[in-house]
Amino acid sequence: LSQAGCQVVLAEDGFDGLSKVVDTLPDIIFVDVMMPRLDGYQTCALIKSHQQFKKIPVVMLTSKDTLFDRARGKLVGSDQYLIKPFNKKNLVEAVARHTATTGA
């Protein structure tokens, strides 16, 4: 994503991710479903439940591709569910798709 001109901010886990969302107010958020301390579903739900952050697109990254997993992603408010393995093109397309609608 950096090569595509995006500024990338990394987080160690869900709690660190939430802190960085507050500090940086990003245009788009990618969360891995499997993260330590606070998983991607919990992280997404907390972001989407907060008035200031709920309009920020959240893309879930996962190898879990069952109907249940996709439904759970939708229930917590994810805007897209990207299945591993994915490539750079998939990430850049997700950024373009979601930031075009948010005006970023």
The pLDDT score that the predictor gives to residue 102 is 53
Domains of the chain: 2-102 (3.40.50.2300)
pLDDT along the chain (104 residues), means of 10: 83 96 95 94 97 96 91 96 92 90 54
Q: What is the pTM for the complete model shown? A: 0.89
The answer to whether the CB of 102 falls within 8 A of the CB of 55 is yes
Order of strands, sheet of 80-83, starting from the edge strand that comes earlier in the sequence: 29-32, 58-62, 80-83
The pLDDT score that the predictor gives to residue 20 is 97
The pLDDT score that the predictor gives to residue 101 is 57
